[in-house]
Each structure stands twice: as C-alpha cells, then as structure tokens.
Structure 1
C-alpha cells in the first residue's frame, strides 16, 4: 500500500480523483465505493477524508473531473464546426447528448449526488462547473448579438435545463417509450424557439 509521503498533497489529491473518476465511470454512483477508490490509489479510505475533509467533497471533486472532460468535449465539437451561429448551437446541443451517451455513469453521477445547497464547494470545483456554463453563455451571446448579460445569463440556465431534461429522459429510456426518435433534435428546436423569442423581445445590439 502506498504511503502519504509517496506523493505531494496536490499529487495525492489528483491521484484520488483519478481513481475515483475511473471507478465512477465503471460502476456508476449507486455502486461507487470510496474505500475501493482509495485502495486503487494505494491508500486507505481514511486518506480521502484527510485530503478532502469528507465524502461529499470527494464526490464533488470526482464529478468536477467529469465537468472538465465535458467542457473539453464541447469545445472540440465547436472547434470542428463552421463559423455559423445556428451550426454552432446545433453542434453544442448534439455534443451535449454525445458526451452523456459516451460517459453515462459519470454523467449521471453528477446529478445522482445530492448535496445541501449550503455545502461549500472548493474553488477549483466551482470553476469546473462554471466553465461548462460559460461555453453556453459565450455561444448564446454570440448568436443573440445582444449586450444584456443578466437576461442572457438567465436564459442560458433555462436553455441548459431544457436540453438536460431531454437528454436525461433519453438516457433513461423514457423518450423511446414516447416514440421520439430524435430527442437531441427536439431539444435543439426548443432552444432555437426560445432564442428567437428572446431576440425578438430584447433588440439591444452590441455596440
């Protein structure tokens, strides 16, 4: 078994996150074991509590790894997309679905882990979550060509919820029961409808 002195604090933290994330991807949230994750890293489960302060903080850090990979996936899809607003939004929505499909256990674990709203999230974990939303903020602001940042911010959160709802129902198999063959296309249609309505109601061009 490894010893604490084998790694710097930062290296130990990353090792535990790496092993936890791999285990989460294999088993999913319901069958995740912090003890097994620590064992794979060569440490005891107590090390997780020493490093992260508790299981919730550890799970948040593991899920933050998923957020970072998700952001990279979206950016890669956008990098391969022509410089056209509609095409970029379509690529963004479909990449959202594609990442969830390719990383089902890790993706679902983000939402299976319930934490109290008063829970303090480490700055690096909060940044991982904000980076994903920031990509959508950027693309929606670009499409709208409007300067109202607060209105755009609120719209983006609603659009994410819309796409997420379609995606979660699709992964659960519920969409198949409704005989819908293209939930990503349906989500994109709802996004474009909302954006068109918003653009029509707030015509404030960026100067």
Structure 2
C-alpha cells in the first residue's frame, strides 16, 4: 500500500480521480464506496476525506471532470455542423452518444445529490452554466425575436426533452417496436415536435 507521503496532495487528487474514472468505465457508482475508493488508490479513507472534504465531494469532483469531457464533445459536434439547427441536432446526438458510451459516468452526474441545504460549489455551477450556454448558442439564432427569459425557458425545455429521450434509451424503456431508437426520436423531436424554426 502506498504511504501517505508518496504523493503530493494535487498528485493524489489527480490519481484518485483517474482511478475512480477507470472504475466507472466498467462498474456503476453504487458499487463504489469511500473504502473502496481508498483501496483503489492505496491510501486511507481518512486521507481521501482530508483531500476532498467528503466522499460526496469526491464524487462531485468526478462529475466535474465528466462534465468537462461532455462539454468538449458537444463543442466538437457544434463546430462540425453549419446552421444553428444542424448544430442543435448534432449536439443532441453527441449527448446521446456520450451517455451510451459512458453510462456510469453519465448516471452519476444526475443521480448524485449533495446533503440537504448544501449549495453547489461555484466550480461545479460553472460547468452546468457552460453546458447550458452551448445549448443556448444553438437555440438563440433560431429564435432571434424572443427575450432572454423566454430563451432560457426554451433552452431548458428543449434540452430536458433531449435528456428524457437519452435517459429512456439508456434504461431501455422506450417501449417501442424493434428499430425505434433514441436517435430517431431526437430527430423527430427537433424536426417536428418543437417549433425550432425553418433554418436547416
């Protein structure tokens, strides 16, 4: 087992996040615990508590890295498309691909809860804001005449709809006939079900 002084704090934090990330590639978060995370890195549970503040904040730090990777994938999808509507569709598909490729990471982002009354740290809120800004950047040109409050509502409505499709796809609860998949539902949603304008 590694000794306490084998790594500097930032090195140990990076190592912990790396090993937990590798764990989530194959196992769901509910199979992890503080004790198991400590065993992965070869340090005591107390050392990880001192490093992250709590097991909950360790998971939040993992979520932060996941959201960074997700945002990068969405940004790449946006940059590869041309019109605002195509960017929105490409981003929605990239979101689905990410969830299907990293299901345990994706679930942890949405299932993890801080203790009641505990505020989301600023560094995590910035990640949430970045994702919403990516969506808003695609939606705003489609609706050039709406005010900011309406735009923010529309951004959340569209993305909540995409998120719901992705979640049902991931849980295999679309209840459709063979051949119906989340990708087709996303296309139908953005093409027909929401008035996303005439830009193609």
For normalisation by structure 1, the TM-score amounts to: 0.83
RMSD: 2.3
Structure 1 residues 33 and 24, CA gap change in structure 2 (3 angstroms)? farther
Match of 2:110 in 1: 111
CA contact (8 A) 1:78 1:92 kept: yes
Whole-angstrom CA distance in 2 between matches of 1:3 and 1:146:
61
Which SS does the other structure have where 1:30 is aligned?
Answer: helix
Q: Following the alignment from structure 2 to structure 1, what is the Cα–Cα distance between the partners of residues 146 and 28? A: 41
What residue number does 1:121 align with?
120
Match of 2:188 in 1: 189
For 2:116 and 2:142, how far apart are their aligned partners in 1?
A: 32
Residue aligning to 1:135: 134
Paired with 2:9 and 2:95, the residues of 1 have a C-alpha distance of 33
SS of the counterpart of 2:30?
A: coil
- Determine the structure 2 residue equivalent to 1:67: 67
The TM-score normalised by the length of structure 2 is 0.85
* Aligned pairs for 1:18-29 within 5 A: 18-29=18-29
Unaligned runs of 5+ in 2: none
1:11 is matched with 11
Query: CA-to-partner distance for each residue in 1:39-88, whole Å, 9 max, x for gaps?
Result: 2223222122111211111111111211111111111222222x212211
* Structure 1 counterpart of 2:98: 99
Matched, 1:172 2:157: no
Aligned residues: 196
Could you list the runs of 5+ residues in structure 1 that have no partner in the other structure?
200-207
**Residue 135 of structure 1: how far off its partner (Å):** 0.9
Residue 84 of structure 2 is aligned to residue 85 of structure 1: yes
